[in-house]
Copies of this chain bind each other. A is one copy, B any other.
Amino acid sequence: MSSKEKTILAAIEIFSQKGKHGARMEEIAKEAGVNKSMVYYYHSSKENLYREVLKKIFYKIFLYSFSELERIQSEEMIYTERIEVIIRVFSKIYSENPNYTRIIINALANEPEDVKYIIRFLKAENDFIRPEKLLDLIEQATSSKALRKIDAKQTMISIIGVSMIYFIGKPIMEIMLGLDLEDEDVFLKERQDSLVDLVLNGIVNRPE
């Protein structure tokens, strides 16, 4: 792996632990196993490195989620099944990449303009990034009476966002609910099932 690549991976690790300002360039270099000058040689500044990191993370998440979306569109499924898969895909992305999740949450809260710029950039560069696809799916499902009359945009936000919740509120939940994290995997699985259950029941159409 190139020094450039190693640096970005290390940066993801450190930024996710310490946040943008909390992270130290020296520490990132050490984690990457390269000289600090190398970091600057390839990424010119902390600001820049941070943007590279965001770009990489969003790219990977988009790549994965849109290819899954593509896949289920080509398969034989009823609408609610498709929606279920989508919810599980997002849950999976967040839970399997907790440090991506942390960085994204931080960026959204602190550098929303950076995030906007990067997403715009990625959308312009990569044809496969097409949020309309998810929107269309929801709208089709609605007009086919598989789903109730719901606002597709709002539903899309809810689906994407709801899967992120557990990670955000983990410490609160641990104390509030007296959760015992020894069985975190079990809890996460239940969490996912519960979300699927909640959302599907919330949007599905029930003929009288």
Contacts and interface: CB of A to CB of B under 8 A. Distances in A.
A194 to B, nearest CB: 4
Nearest to A158: B198
A202 B154 CA distance: 15
Interface stretch (A3-11, A28-36, A73-81, A164-172): A164-172
Contact of A115 (B158, B172, B200): B172
A119 B171 contact: yes
Contacts of A199: 198, 202
Given A18-B110, A157-B165, A161-B162, A197 B202 contact: yes
A172 B129 CA distance: 13
A164 B105 CA distance: 12
Interface string A64-106: 0000000000000000000000000000000000000110011
Q: Which of A112, A176, A177, A203 has its CB near the most chain B CB atoms (within 10 A)?
A: A176
Please state the number of chain copies in the assembly: 2
Contact of A105 (B17, B105, B150, B202): B105
A155 B194 contact: yes
Interface in A123-157: 123, 131, 135, 148, 150-151, 153-157
Q: Which of A131, A150, A172, A203 has its CB near the most chain B CB atoms (within 10 A)?
A: A172
Cβ-closest 10 pairs across A and B: A161-B165, A202-B202, A21-B21, A154-B194, A21-B22, A198-B202, A112-B171, A131-B176, A201-B202, A115-B171
